[in-house]
């Protein structure tokens, strides 16, 4: 898997027009940088309560399926990243009420106090994120994108 390239001028690139510049990277890398997808998906990304998380994850998964229908791998991957980020962020708040793992001053780990509401939100995002990342067509398109846009082929 190619490393995410943070040297690009993200404000100047439309990744729908230039998918060859997109690198999957690791985990959620670039989720808040890659346009126009960030602007299309971010308004739906919420996780405060399980009901909100369910609606959010469902809307983002619908975007994933719409991108899939159009053969837009970058859009699919960005939707997958937002689903993953829904899981990781709600999990962080489930573990630490403030959303911070470390104390500002001492850099020590804050007490772990599980919030069952945020834990349920995390579970909702996790299940839909797993659906997206294991989608057979997504996996094929991921492999194709990685092979097509390696250093040797770009």
The CA dihedral of 115, 118, 123, 129, to the nearest 10 degrees, is -140
> What does the pLDDT read at residue 151?
61
Q: What is the pLDDT of residue 42?
A: 97
Alpha helices in 70-115 (DSSP H): 73-95
Mean pLDDT, 10 residues at a time, over the chain (154 residues)? 81 95 91 96 95 98 98 98 96 81 81 87 97 98 92 54
Whole-number pLDDT of residue 60 = 98
Half-sphere exposure of residue 10: CA atoms within 13 angstroms, side-chain side: 17
Q: Which residues pair with 145 in a beta bridge?
A: none
Model pLDDT, residue 21: 94
């Amino acid at each position: 898997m190619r490393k995410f390239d943070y040297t690009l001028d993200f404000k100047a690139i439309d990744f729908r027009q230039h998918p060859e510049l997109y690198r999957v990277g690791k985990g959620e890398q670039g989720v808040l940088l890659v346009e126009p997808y960030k602007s299309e998906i971010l308004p739906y990304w919420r996780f405060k309560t399980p009901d909100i998380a369910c609606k959010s994850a469902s809307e983002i998964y619908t975007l994933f399926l719409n991108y899939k229908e159009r053969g837009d791998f970058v859009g699919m991957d960005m939707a997958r990243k937002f689903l993953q980020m829904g899981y990781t962020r709600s999990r962080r708040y489930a573990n630490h009420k403030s959303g911070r793992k470390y104390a500002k001053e001492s850099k020590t780990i804050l007490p772990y106090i599980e919030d069952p509401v945020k834990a349920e939100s995390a579970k909702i995002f996790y299940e839909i994120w797993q659906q997206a990342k294991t989608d057979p067509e997504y996996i094929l398109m991921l492999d194709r994108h990685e092979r097509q846009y390696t250093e040797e082929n770009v």
